[in-house]
């Protein structure tokens, strides 16, 4: 089945053409990051307007790169939620129009479900598996028993992991979103330089909390202010903060592996690009003798190709969506 998929839940307008939920023929991502960086975060109204400008050229580019046109397609998929309502509406309405005009089945997909299955585009994973989804808006642990069969084992009780990275980056004076910059600077830092807290590490749950960690970085900076962007302590602070996040993510994932009895682990979402997290998760998988799947960075970050994996399955099952389906700003898996 040849599918066109559209993603517009936050600040990336993306379209992809994927065959059989496996082979990516094209994946185009138009990022708005530079526009939002000026404001220190995503401005929803600006995001919607940018999606509107980008969506048609992005779809055309995805089709052209794949060497296909509408008569070749067997379906259209789009992110239905969760995300910014106005942003979601652009991709979803476009998908509805394209599906209606070309008499193609439409399927609305949960954005998190896309992240869960992104690694299938590189190497299929057998069910059941444990999935850690860490992005700008989510920090969740799921046991995945099949398409549409998810059990939430843990989640953040306040900030998401990516949100914590971006807020700490802001405290350090980095432009939005600063997660990747913390990762880059941390390479030259000492992770043991500052002992930041590991929130909820020993509470016996699989939940996360990152807001106290962000406050601990703020308190540290108030006590020992930075002299400027060239301050020699920056790499140490980045490495120490990153180590605290990774310690918590790894410990909670390890606990969830035990609780769920899973022997396969998927780590996904934008924060799964983090080099220290990738290294620590590889170490955990080695120590426990389990199979680890972390998509390559372009598939960890927001993209449309990942949506085609569950969409292909749902359409194969005849589970197409009504054209009247609405965007869902909040939509737990
Ligand atoms: O999945 P994603 O692209 O969008 C959402 O669905 O939220 O994730 C974006 C998040 C941002 O918070 C960004 O700072 C973070 O992923 N991120 C990173 C790295 N690359 C992206 N965080 C830490 N280290 C990185 N290398
Ligand atoms: Zn995402």
pLDDT tens digits for range 246-291: 999 999 999 999 999 999 999 999 999 999 999 999 999 999 999 9
Residues in the chain: 333
272 close to ligand 1 (CB < 6 Angstrom):
no
Q: Are 302 and 9 in contact (CB under 8 A)?
A: yes
What pLDDT is attached to residue 211? 95
Does ligand 1 lie within 6 Å of residue 114's CB atom?
Answer: no
**Cα(269) to centroid of ligand 2, in Å?**
6
Annotated ligand binding at 21? The verdict is no
Q: What is the pLDDT of residue 55?
A: 98
d(CA 136, CA 166): 8
For a pocket test of ligand 1, which of 44, 162, 238, 275 has the largest count of ligand atoms closer than 8 A to its C-beta?
162
pLDDT score, position 293: 98
**Of 330, 308, 286, nearest in space to 26 by CA:** 308
Q: What tens digit of pLDDT does each residue of 83-98 get? A: 999 999 999 999 999 9
CB burial of 94-110 (b: ≥16 within 10 Å; e: otherwise) equals bbbebbeeeebbbbbbb
Over residues 46-59, mean pLDDT = 98
Radius of gyration of the chain (CA): 20
CATH code that applies to domain 125-294:
3.30.420.40
Centre of ligand 1 to C-alpha 156, Å, is 16
Give the model's pLDDT for residue 149. Answer: 98
CA 40/CA 46 separation, integer angstroms: 13
Q: Where residue 107 falls among pLDDT bands split at 50, 70, 90?
A: very high
Torsion of Cα atoms, 44 then 50 then 54 then 55, to 10°: 30
DSSP conformation class of 324: T
d(CA 177, CA 171): 12
Tell which one of 88, 131, 165 to mutate to probe ligand 1, the residue whose CB is within 8 A of the most ligand atoms: 165
Does residue 295 have its Cβ closer than 6 Å to ligand 1?
no
Q: Name the class of domain 2-117+302-316.
A: alpha beta
Does 137 carry a binding-site annotation?
A: yes
Predicted-complex ipTM score: 0.98
pLDDT of residue 35: 92
Q: Could you read off the pLDDT of 160-192 as tens digits, one per residue?
A: 999 999 999 999 999 999 999 999 999 999 999
**Contacts (Cβ under 8 Å, ≥6 apart) of 201:** 247, 248, 251
Domain with CATH 3.30.420.40 in the chain: 2-117+302-316, 125-294
Give the rounded percent of residues in the chain with a pLDDT score beyond 70. Answer: 100
Residues 314-326: what's their mean pLDDT? Answer: 98
Q: Which residue minimizes the CA distance to atom 13 of ligand 1?
A: 179
Residue with tokens 């990942």: 306
| pLDDT score for 148 | 97
What is the average per-residue pLDDT within 149-157? 97
Ligand 2 centre and the CA of 120: distance in Å?
16
């Amino acid at each position: 089945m040849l599918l066109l998929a559209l993603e517009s839940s936050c600040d990336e307008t993306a379209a992809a053409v994927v065959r059989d939920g496996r082979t990516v023929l094209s994946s185009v991502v138009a990022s708005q990051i530079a526009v939002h960086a000026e404001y220190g975060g995503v401005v929803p109204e600006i995001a919607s307007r940018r999606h509107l400008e980008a969506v048609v050229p992005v779809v055309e580019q995805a089709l052209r790169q794949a060497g296909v046109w509408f008569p070749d397609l067997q379906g259209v998929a789009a992110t239905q939620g969760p995300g910014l309502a106005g942003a979601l509406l652009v991709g979803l309405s476009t998908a509805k129009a394209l599906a209606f005009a070309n008499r193609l089945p439409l399927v609305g997909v949960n954005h998190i479900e896309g992240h869960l299955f992104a690694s299938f585009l590189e190497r299929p994973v057998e069910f059941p598996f444990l999935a850690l989804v860490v992005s700008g808006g989510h920090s969740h642990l799921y046991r995945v028993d099949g398409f549409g069969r998810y059990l939430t084992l843990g989640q953040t009780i306040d900030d998401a992991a990516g949100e914590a990275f971006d807020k700490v980056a802001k405290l350090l004076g980095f432009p939005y979103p600063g997660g990747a910059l913390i990762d880059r600077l941390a390479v030259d830092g000492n992770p043991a330089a500052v002992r930041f807290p590991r929130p909820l590490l020993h509470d016996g749950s699989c939940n996360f909390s990152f807001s106290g960690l962000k406050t601990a970085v703020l308190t540290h900076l108030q006590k020992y202010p930075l002299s400027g962007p060239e301050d020699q302590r920056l790499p140490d602070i980045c490495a120490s903060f990153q180590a605290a996040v990774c310690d918590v993510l790894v410990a909670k994932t390890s606990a969830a592996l035990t609780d769920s009895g899973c022997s396969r682990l998927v780590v996904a979402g934008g924060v799964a690009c983090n080099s220290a997290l990738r290294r620590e998760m590889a170490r955990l998988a080695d120590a426990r003798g389990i199979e680890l799947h972390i998509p390559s960075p372009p598939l960890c970050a927001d993209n449309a190709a990942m949506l085609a994996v569950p969409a292909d399955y749902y359409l194969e099952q005849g589970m197409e969506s009504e054209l009247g389906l609405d965007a869902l700003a909040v939509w737990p898996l």
